[in-house]
Chain A
Amino acid sequence: MLKKFHFNFLIIFLLLGTTSNVSLAQTDLGKWDWLLPGYAKLQFAGGIGFISGGVGYTFVNHRIDASVFYGFVPKAFSVDELHSISVQFTAKLIRVSLSENYQLLPLNFGWYLHHTFGDEYWVKLPPHYPPEYYWWSPGRNAGVFVGGELKTKWLASKTPASGIALYVRAGTRGLYLASKFGNNSIPLSDIIELGFGIAFYR
């Protein structure tokens, strides 16, 4: 039942992404236009799923992105199938125009909250524990990342999308930082979450 619910979520996100690409550029949806996401992303790894799909908005003169991703890890890659949602904010500090068709964003800073679904991944300490028995919550972790993005006009003439971007990111999360703190025996590379993805802009 729960799994079905998760998959429905995934489908909704993918549909939202598709709609934003296919119909929006041409169709006039009138006063609800502003609600439609500015982009859809498909990401590999990055700590938020084997594959995750997300949509979001851009604010402040294309400097700030707010996105929501649905991610999953299939059973082939983990003992349990994992489903999660993450909310992310990205500040795109530098924009370099390479040519008419290419734009480089070499320094993006991000902050995210990652929520894993399942009873064992609680957010609030379950009532059977005494208060403050555990100080962290397995169900909701915060993390940070840095990344870069190459925006292109690929497929712009063939599809309603105004452009496609490729991006990479390297991050870590609070729980990994807490483990690394004071421990030289843990290699820094072990707490880094690498990921890359593709973005379709409206």
Chain B
Amino acid sequence: MIWSMKTVLKIGFFLGLMLMVSCETNFDYSPYCINFNDNDKDVNLKNIGRIIDHPAHDTIQIAFTGDTHNFFDELELFVEKVNTMDAVDFVIHVGDIADFGLPQQYLWGNSLLSQLKVPYLVTIGNHDLVGNGMEAYMEMFGSLNFSFIYQGIKFVFLNTNSLEFQYNGMVPDLLWLEQQLLPSNEFDSVVFVFHLPPGMGFDPNLEEGFYQTISKNNNVIVAVHGHLHHFEMYYPTIDSIPYVNVYGVEYGMMTTIKIFNKQIYVEEIPF
């Protein structure tokens, strides 16, 4: 058979198509293919930039959600509600944005959160780490542990999903946390965010050190986490640092925290 010009053109068309398409098209290569667009990269860092550029005022209000798992429609309702709340300065997702840790679920979660008018930050949850979820998180959001300072308050985000690292003694990274909480003239209080609280899945050998590190410098004004899906405010240490467990998105309730003059005001708001 002699290949006609038409055949060559047709083959060329398909070869061209193959080179153009990537994982984000319908030509799926694998559920674990990570090939994000620039919009889906360095998301936390870009949003920290947006927060810091934001004009300063004396009250900071943060809207929290998390444990979105497969509740994408509920996450959309959360986004719509926050977009009507003018006082909210930024949003914090306390983890489990990707129920099966799939890159595609990261994309779905971020496509909804990116419709927020205000900046948003996403914490690493245990579900987010299944499969190659850690690579997907790092590609989309960045470092598993991160922090920034805004108006004299340091916001510290810590990976506490010990079981996903087989209780290797390095997660949560208490040395990193201790460094972050060391007093400095750049901040006078700390908002501490993590996904998984001490209990099942948290390295039992690090539990005592975890609480001690948080209480050490007397500067943490609130510790916020998810994982348990229900709302709760509790005081596990004698210095009475408030620990807030944020609602899972499926309850149609968000937790907001207002920070004014080192004081916190916690509210539950339906959406």
Give residues in A with beta carbon < 8 Å to B.
44-50, 71, 73, 77-80, 82, 84, 114, 116, 118, 120-121, 128-130, 133-134, 136, 138, 141, 154-155, 158, 173, 175-176, 178-179, 181-186, 189-196
Contacts and interface: CB of A to CB of B under 8 A. Distances in A.
A56 to B, nearest CB: 21
B133 to A, nearest CB: 8
A191 B105 CA distance: 10
A178 B31 CA distance: 13
Interface in B111-156: 112, 127, 130-132, 135-136, 139
Interface string B91-117: 000000001111011001000100000
A184 B22 CA distance: 24
Contacts of A82: 29-30, 32-33
Most buried by A among B28, B30, B35: B30
A44 B29 CA distance: 8
Task: In the A-B complex, list the 10 residue pairs whose CB atoms are closest, starting with the nearest.
Answer: A138-B131, A45-B27, A193-B28, A79-B34, A183-B72, A47-B28, A78-B33, A194-B26, A50-B29, A185-B76
Given A49-B30, A77-B35, A78-B30, A121 B99 contact: no
Contacts of A50: 29-30
A193 to B, nearest CB: 4
B30 A116 contact: yes
Most buried by A among B31, B71, B99: B31
Nearest to A166: B14
Contacts of A129: 163
Given A133-B163, A136-B100, 17 more contacts: A49-B29, A49-B30, A50-B30, A71-B30, A77-B23, A79-B132, A121-B131, A134-B127, A134-B130, A138-B131, A141-B31, A176-B104, A178-B70, A179-B72, A179-B105, A184-B73, A194-B28
B31 A173 contact: yes
8 contacts: A46-B27, A77-B35, A82-B32, A116-B32, A121-B131, A128-B166, A141-B31, A195-B28
A193 B112 CA distance: 22
Contacts of B35: 77-79
Contacts of A181: 70
Contact of A46 (B23, B28, B73, B76): B28
A189 B27 CA distance: 11
Most buried by B among A46, A77, A84: A77
Contacts of B18: 44
B173 to A, nearest CB: 19
A82 B163 CA distance: 25
Chain B interface mostly helix, strand, loop or mixed?
loop
A79 B32 CA distance: 9
A82 B131 CA distance: 12
Interface string B171-193: 00000000000000000000000
Interface string B227-263: 0000000000000000000000000000000000000
B34 A78 contact: yes
Given A134-B130, A138-B131, A175-B100, A192 B73 contact: no
B131 A189 contact: no
B167 interface: yes
Given A80-B135, A129-B163, A179-B72, A45 B29 contact: yes
Interface in B10-32: 14, 18, 21-23, 26-32
Interface in B64-96: 70-73, 75-76
B265 to A, nearest CB: 31
A78 B28 contact: no
